Structure 1
Amino acid sequence: MTTLGLVDREQRDMVAAFPSFGSGRGDLAAFRQTLVEGTTALLNSASARFEEQSVPGPDGAAVRVIVFRPSGTAGTTPAILYVHGGGMIAGTPDMQAGTLARLASETGSLIVSVDYRLAPEVPFPGGLEDVYAALVWLHGHAGALGVDPDRITVMGDSGGGCLAAATALLARDRGQVPLRAQVLIYPMLDLRTGGADAPSDDPTTGEFVWTREQNQYAWSAVRGDLAADDPGLGYLSPALMPDLAGLPATLIVTGALDLFRDEDVTFAQRLWQAAVPTELVVYANAVHAFDLLPTSLGARVRRDVLEGLRRLL
């Protein structure tokens, strides 16, 4: 079946033209380049201004982060640790610089976005430990950065939403950094989605932008050799974490046609059951990455996320 007729009318032609990739290594390289170039142009990121820092990472390695400072603020500010999308196999923080610069200004927050290592070159837990190291650095240098250490939020989209959720779990379990909130934009949470053991498989989801084949390839690349009974599995795939209690207040947004819809809704339900204050918004006629497109639906979700962030911060 085709679900193009269900897609938001303004977004339909753009969604139909969105590039995809197969599982070959050459296809991945081309997808990475197309994603970065396309997103950079779409978000006008080349003109955005930011600072670069090199922060201590896992095993003595350095992690590159880019920093966006709000203008016209006095005193300490909240902070957002942002994790870019791309299925954990593609993308850079720079490609979203246009959005992050605007978000820093609109929320009055300092934003740190992490240039984490990608799979398959670096499988789990490499990328996650990079993001967590950036969080520890942000909290530890809060005073120098002009940040309130009690108002730090983790935020990410797609594969970055997975890493943001996993970072919140690590922060809870390691006890080093108190988080104010987590904001998960159509997060990629369940490694079973798109496979034979998927808990649900609605054919109206996942036809465009991010497909079942892409999802299974990405999860295989990120997972590497991690066994099904490994105690770290819930940090790889937060949907499989047995206990979600003690996580910070949460905002989740997703689309009704997004491949991740059901896993995102289920994750929200589990957060409610664990007494975590959670807001879930599912947008009709919306595919994956719908908020990036210059349409009224894209503008609406960007406004809703901004309002949600302001409440949480």
Structure 2
Amino acid sequence: MTTLGLVDAQQRGMVASFPSFDPKQDDLTAFRRVLVDGTTALLNSGSVGFEERLIGGPTGAPDVRVLLFHPAKPAGTTPAILYIHGGGMIAGTPDMQAGVLARLASDTGALVVSVDYRLAPETPFPGGLEDVYAALLWLHSHAAELGVDPKRITVMGDSGGGCLAAATALVARDRGEVKLRSQVLIYPMLDLRTGGANAPADDPTTGEFVWTRAQNQHAWSAVRGKLAENDPMFGYLSPAFMRDLSGLPATFIVTGALDLFRDEDVTFAHRLWHAGVPTELVVYASAVHGFDMLPSALAERFRHDVVSALRRLL
């Protein structure tokens, strides 16, 4: 079926022209290039400046590159947002979102630190997650130098980066080294069954555009590697499988009614409520995956809602 008629009217033409990626016949390197070039142009990221640093990576792994977006004229210590970019954990760079991240720093008054984590399949789980966690430890331990309040750190990510943000919050809870203020998950990729034969839900009105079932299954296979389902780390790979969600920080989740991840995101929010975690969930009608990047009134409403939530949470 085609769900184009259900898509936000202002975004419909742009959604229909999105490049597609068929993992059975298309080249991953080419997809990565198209994603970065297209997103950079869409978000005007090429004209945005930022501070770049190399920080110590996980034990035995390379250093991790992070980009810092400073708020204008901070008064005293600021909150911080550790941001993890999207791309299904197989593509993307923090640079491609520089336009959005600079604006986020300005709108919230927070230092935004975006992580250039290693991608799958070259680096399967838990390489990317450990890169992000190393960046969290660095941000927390260097808070005084960076002018950051270590008690006001939020982890935030979109799509595959939303998965890593949720997993980082779980790791932080369980390792007990950093207490996060909150987590903000933008249409997060949480359940590796989505798009497959064993998916808990499969609404045909979701997942036609931008990120499809085939893409999702391909990405999860690349990230998972050979990790067995009974491995103790499995819930950090795919947070939908984490049995205990108690003790997590206050949470804000955004998803779209036409997004492939809609049902897993709603289910995750329900589980957080049951676990006693203060959680807000917003599901936007007529919204596909990545809708916030497309100029429209819908995208502006998203920006207002997310900035308002971050101001409350931080």
Above 0.5 in TM-score? Answer: yes
For 2:44 and 2:209, the matched residues in 1 are separated by: 23
For 2:188 and 2:229, the matched residues in 1 are separated by: 21
Q: Look up the match of 1:175.
A: 176
Q: Which runs of 5+ in 1 are unaligned?
A: none
2:201 aligns to what SS in structure 1? Answer: coil
Aligned alpha-carbon RMSD (Å): 0.8
2:142 equivalent to 1:141: yes
For 2:233 and 2:141, the matched residues in 1 are separated by: 25
For 2:165 and 2:299, the matched residues in 1 are separated by: 22
Question: Shift in Å at residue 24 of structure 1?
Answer: 4.5
Write the letter of the residue equivalent to 1:115. Answer: D
Q: Look up the match of 1:278.
A: 279
CA contact (8 A) 1:84 1:91 kept: yes
Q: Look up the match of 1:122.
A: 123
CA contact (8 A) 1:80 1:110 kept: yes
CA contact (8 A) 1:206 1:259 kept: yes
For 1:243 and 1:265, the matched residues in 2 are separated by: 17
Q: Look up the match of 2:41.
A: 41
Q: TM-score w.r.t. structure 2 length?
A: 0.99
Q: Look up the match of 1:22.
A: 22
Structure 1's consecutive aligned runs of 4 or more residues displaced over 6 angstroms after TM superposition are: none
Q: Look up the match of 1:211.
A: 212
For 2:5 and 2:98, the matched residues in 1 are separated by: 32
Question: Shift in Å at residue 236 of structure 1?
Answer: 0.2
- 1:217-244 deviations in whole A, cap 9, x for unaligned? 0000000000111110000000100000
Question: Shift in Å at residue 30 of structure 1?
Answer: 1.1
For 2:27 and 2:306, the matched residues in 1 are separated by: 33
Question: Shift in Å at residue 36 of structure 1?
Answer: 0.3
For 1:295 and 1:169, the matched residues in 2 are separated by: 34
Question: Shift in Å at residue 72 of structure 1?
Answer: 1.5
Write the letter of the residue equivalent to 1:203. Answer: P
- 1:42-97 deviations in whole A, cap 9, x for unaligned? 11101111101111111242000000111111110000000000000000000000
Write the letter of the residue equivalent to 2:168. Answer: T
Q: Look up the match of 1:99.
A: 100
Larger CA deviation: 60-69 vs 204-213: 60-69
For 2:103 and 2:6, the matched residues in 1 are separated by: 31
Question: Shift in Å at residue 13 of structure 1?
Answer: 0.9
Write the letter of the residue equivalent to 1:9. Answer: A
CA contact (8 A) 1:22 1:28 kept: no
Q: How many aligned positions are there? A: 313
Write the letter of the residue equivalent to 1:23. Answer: P
For 2:226 and 2:25, the matched residues in 1 are separated by: 18
1:91 aligns to what SS in structure 2? Answer: coil
For 2:141 and 2:43, the matched residues in 1 are separated by: 31
- 1:2-26 deviations in whole A, cap 9, x for unaligned? 1111000111111111112122585
Write the letter of the residue equivalent to 1:306. Answer: V
For 1:207 and 1:25, the matched residues in 2 are separated by: 18
For 2:170 and 2:23, the matched residues in 1 are separated by: 30
**Mapping 1:29-108, distance limit 5 Å:** 29-60=29-60, 61-108=62-109
2:249 equivalent to 1:248: yes
1:104 aligns to what SS in structure 2? Answer: helix
CA contact (8 A) 1:194 1:213 kept: yes
- 1:101-135 deviations in whole A, cap 9, x for unaligned? 01101100001000000000000000000000000
- Distance 1:284-1:94 versus aligned 2 partners, 3 A rule: same
Q: Which runs of 5+ in 2 are unaligned?
A: none
Identity across aligned pairs (percent)?
Answer: 77
CA contact (8 A) 1:268 1:280 kept: yes
For 1:140 and 1:25, the matched residues in 2 are separated by: 45
1:90 aligns to what SS in structure 2? Answer: coil
1:183 aligns to what SS in structure 2? Answer: strand
Write the letter of the residue equivalent to 2:10. Answer: E
Write the letter of the residue equivalent to 1:184. Answer: L
For 1:31 and 1:24, the matched residues in 2 are separated by: 12
Write the letter of the residue equivalent to 1:40. Answer: T
Q: Look up the match of 1:153.
A: 154
For 2:295 and 2:11, the matched residues in 1 are separated by: 8
Q: TM-score w.r.t. structure 1 length?
A: 0.99
